[in-house]
Amino acid sequence: MTYSPILSEDALLQALLKDSLNGLILYQVVRNEAGKPIDFLYQLVNPAAAILLGACPEDLHGKSCKEVFPQGDELRMYYQQVAVSGQNLRVEYQLPTDGRWFEVFITEQVQETLLCFFTNITDRVLAEQELIKNLTLLQHTEELASMGSWDYDRSTDQFFWSEGMYRLFGLELGTPISLQTYVNNVLEADQPVALRFVDKLQRETLPFEETLRIRRYGDEAIIKIKGVVKSNSQEQPMWVLGGCWDITH
């Protein structure tokens, strides 16, 4: 039995271009006499990409990228890089017209063409920017309020300390943290309290708190630590989240 394709390769490409929710553009590379890529002509543009350019796909065929999208110098620089090196490239690009963010994958094709895929990543980028802003705000708040935050993963026996925690304990940022850190840094008289706190970190299922006296830069300081136990999807208490406050004064 002989296989006979229902659609030609060109028809398949056109179908993919039409139905994809992501932007797809096929460019013809234009080079100067020295062989340097200087412009890119639209050969195929799917509806999603045409909307970004504010035009109909049919109206873009054969037109210059510089003419249609004059504000896209940064994007064309990436196109030139791929046209010269022949190496695929994936970049994040902010659309100058409305501020949306796209992941752009650029790949060299046969007969001096580039195929570009545009995926909208605006929500992800905004979420990352919001996270960075919140972390920065948290750092400022911790510094002003003489506090810190931490979490402990029981399954891996690993801690995460904020910068504020390192300041409260007088430790260099990035110093490895373990359960023993609490025991090692308290006054000798408070070691039983530190051991009780460590036991709660490992076994407790309800919210808890302890007050510890620690030695910081040669002076005595008093800190209050609170913890809340969080369960995983199997309702197993696996994470402990908490805060720490300097109550010396």
| Domain membership of residue 221 as a residue range | 145-246
Whether residues 158 and 96 fall in one domain: no
Task: Say if 189 falls within a structural domain.
Answer: yes
Residue of 249 and 54 predicted with greater confidence: 54
Whether residues 17 and 106 fall in one domain: yes
Whether residues 151 and 111 fall in one domain: no
CATH number at residue 209: 3.30.450.20
Per-residue pLDDT tens over the stretch 65-112: 999 999 889 999 999 999 999 999 999 999 888 888 999 999 998 889
Whether residues 104 and 177 fall in one domain: no
Task: Say if 133 falls within a structural domain.
Answer: no
Residue 247's pLDDT is 85
Residue 242's pLDDT is 86
Q: Smallest Cα–Cα separation from 79: which of 51, 108, 52?
A: 108
Task: Say if 130 falls within a structural domain.
Answer: no
Distance CA 89, CA 133 (A): 29
89, 123, 157 - which closes a domain: 123
- Chain CA centroid to CA 190, Å: 41
Whether residues 110 and 162 fall in one domain: no
Query: DSSP secondary-structure letter at 8?
Result: -
Residue 20's pLDDT is 66
Q: How many domains does the chain have?
A: 2
Per-residue pLDDT tens over the stretch 118-160: 999 888 888 877 766 665 566 555 555 568 888 899 889 999 9
Assign 55 a pLDDT band (cuts: 50, 70, 90). Answer: confident
123, 154, 177 - which closes a domain: 123
Supply the Cα-derived Rg of the chain in whole angstroms.
Answer: 29
Distance CA 104, CA 84 (A): 17
SS3 state at 172: coil
Task: Find the helix or strand (DSSP H, E) in which 13 lies.
Answer: helix 9-19
The angle at the Cα of 63, spanning 60 to 69, to the nearest 5 degrees, equals: 80
Whether residues 111 and 195 fall in one domain: no
**Percentage, residues of the chain above pLDDT 70:** 83
Residues in the chain: 249
Whether residues 90 and 166 fall in one domain: no
Contact 245, 150 (CB under 8 A): no
